[in-house]
Structure 1
Amino acid sequence: MGIKSKTMDIVKHFEFKFNKNLGQNFLIDENILNKIVDAAELNENSSVIEIGPGIGTLTQEMAKRAKKVIAIEIDKTLIPILDETLANYPNIKVINADALKVDFNEIIEKEQLDNVKVVANLPYYVTTPIIAKILNEGAKIKSMIIMIQKEVADRIVAKPDTDEYGTLSLLCQYHCDIKKVAKVSQNCFVPPPKVESAVIRLDVLDKKRVDVEDEKLFFNIIKAAFNMRRKTLHNALKTLGISQDILEGAMERAGIDAKRRGETLSIEEYAALSNEVSFSLSKLTNNSRSQEIK
């Protein structure tokens, strides 16, 4: 019996109702399923955190290869289904929780997970928040293999001076090496979503893509630039509350024309600009302290 038939039988047997608010679309294509599992490169030393296991189709396949699988499912109505479909896999644990609210490092420590990989068919409405949470909180994971909306995947891999390039591109590229795994049509799901999907793999870097003195400032500059992406850097960065003298001097030392738009800057240029601003702010602070001492 194929994945589609099994899925429909389980849905019918448990009288399960798809919840549109939770973005539930179950994968029913075996080829894509295998591509996800293969891309995860699981072995007996791997641990997996799966977000949104659905009825457990992907969960089962990963459990055959990995040491342990922790599946986080927000929908309480899916828990009894998972209890049945995953009953023969002692290396799977299901947690009924909202992935946006869990502490991933706490789970990793509590479950004694090693070589952790996040694998997920992410609901579209939480894709960006989930990725940002994992990367910004420094979760101790090796990689993410995720099914997401194709449009979001395009934004993640986007290059400077393109419409797709933005804060999400820079966040992911700062933290990860990124590889597209597969395009996925609407017909690979039940119910079919209205848009195409894609599977991507993000390998978390041991050392960030660029060196920055102040990570918070680095991303604040990026956000300010893209919040007003059609304006020049000179105008967009005014919202930071930093003096124009400091900003203009930093751009000049970084070799960046103030008339450029933020969407044209590479991650290396953002790092250089951020570091120059940080240097000027530190120098200003130190001078103020020196005056106070005098």
Structure 2
Amino acid sequence: MLPETAAHYTRRVLKNGGSAKKSLGQNFLIDDQVIADIIEKGFPDSDMPIIEIGPGPGALTRVLAQKIKRLWAVELDKEKVEILQKEIINKNQDCRLTLLHMDARQLKLTDIWGEEKGWLIGNLPYYITNMLLNHFLEQADSLYGMTVMVQKEVAQRMTARPGGRDYGILSIAIQLAAEAEILFDVPPSAFWPQPKVMSTVVKLNIRPYPGFIVDQQEYFHVVRAAFAQRRKTLLNTLAAGLKLPKDHIRLVLQSLNLEPNLRPEELEIIDYQKIVQALKRVDSE
């Protein structure tokens, strides 16, 4: 049992000149119930290695450090690294927390836990959420999953199904790599300073996508082309994005029984794989 609330802890450790830096997108989680819910609903087996991204002054980290046998925390802000060292590591002889003062976008998980798999947890800075998600999805072989806090509208895009306006490249990238589940929303009042938007905790269980066999680079070349001008039809946007004649694209779509006037957001993940395969077949004929 911790002796002080998350809000009291955060105020205390920041009172001597500490601050939330807008340039780093810092909004610190200070709600004990939210912290408890993250651990209860989004937290895996404590025996696996865990890495926390953007711990800030450590309101969540100090709870994790009591439960996790192998815990790393990646923090870019030197001021917050010093707080974590003083308040969590120096005050706990048995603490198994390792601090990494670095940009999480440069982190290679194999440098942390080798060939093992672990779990990532974090309140992702909103201004680099997509970059961080993509960075760690590229390292999916090193992860069992992730529990991340993001803006609610990003969470909606992450979990969106085909046919809606939220469905796009991020939806496909996330769902190709993982089963995505929205756990709960977090109000602005759970943070200091308060953000202007609602946040959402999302759990990602990493797994291979059933039946996916094409090269990912080729696949996302087609997906990015399709969504580059999402208000246009699939025929027009693929022709423009792939720099191919419309007749060529029309032939590809017809071979798959896909209507040329479909919109990019109407296609399933596996439909884009079929387009990649059909493009190769048509090119070879």
How many angstroms does 1:248 deviate by? 2.2
Partner SS, residue 142 of structure 2: coil
When residues 164 and 155 of structure 1 are mapped into structure 2, their CA distance, relative to the original with a 3 A threshold, is same
Give 2:10's aligned amino acid: T
| Cα contact 1:69–1:91 (8 A) shared by 2 | yes
Alignment correspondent of 1:9: 12
How many angstroms does 1:209 deviate by? 4.1
Counterparts in 2 of 1:80-91, with a 5 A limit? 80-87=82-89, 88=92, 89-91=94-96
How many angstroms does 1:212 deviate by? 3.5
Give 1:222's aligned amino acid: V
CA distance in 1, matches of 2:131, 2:120: 14
How many angstroms does 1:218 deviate by? 1.4
CA distance in 2, matches of 1:42, 1:86: 22
Give 2:112's aligned amino acid: I
Alignment correspondent of 1:271: 273
How many residue pairs get aligned? The number is 278
Alignment correspondent of 2:193: 191
CA distance in 2, matches of 1:100, 1:181: 25
Alignment correspondent of 1:36: 38
CA distance in 2, matches of 1:67, 1:270: 42
| Cα contact 2:28–2:193 (8 A) shared by 1 | yes
Alignment correspondent of 1:235: 236
Give 2:14's aligned amino acid: V
Deviations 1:1-49 (A, max 9, x none): 321112111110x320211010111111111101111234343422111
CA distance in 2, matches of 1:184, 1:50: 18
Give 1:5's aligned amino acid: H
CA distance in 2, matches of 1:175, 1:52: 23
Partner SS, residue 213 of structure 1: coil
CA distance in 2, matches of 1:63, 1:278: 51
How many angstroms does 1:262 deviate by? 0.7
Alignment correspondent of 1:155: 157
Partner SS, residue 10 of structure 2: helix
Could you say what the CA RMSD is over the residues aligned between the two structures, in angstroms? Answer: 1.7
User: Is structure 2 residue 88 aligned with structure 1 residue 77?
Assistant: no
How many angstroms does 1:186 deviate by? 0.2
Alignment correspondent of 2:216: 215
When residues 44 and 232 of structure 1 are mapped into structure 2, their CA distance, relative to the original with a 3 A threshold, is closer
How many angstroms does 1:62 deviate by? 1.7
CA distance in 1, matches of 2:225, 2:45: 43
How many angstroms does 1:104 deviate by? 2.2
Give 2:50's aligned amino acid: V
User: Is structure 2 residue 105 aligned with structure 1 residue 100?
Assistant: yes
Give 1:256's aligned amino acid: L
Give 2:257's aligned amino acid: G
Counterparts in 2 of 1:49-128, with a 5 A limit? 49-87=51-89, 88=92, 89-109=94-114, 114-128=116-130
Alignment correspondent of 1:165: 167
Partner SS, residue 122 of structure 2: strand
Percent identical residues: 30
The answer for unaligned runs of 5 or more in structure 1 is 285-294
Alignment correspondent of 1:247: 249
CA distance in 2, matches of 1:278, 1:61: 52
Alignment correspondent of 2:137: 135
CA distance in 2, matches of 1:44, 1:237: 46
Give 1:71's aligned amino acid: A
CA distance in 2, matches of 1:267, 1:35: 31
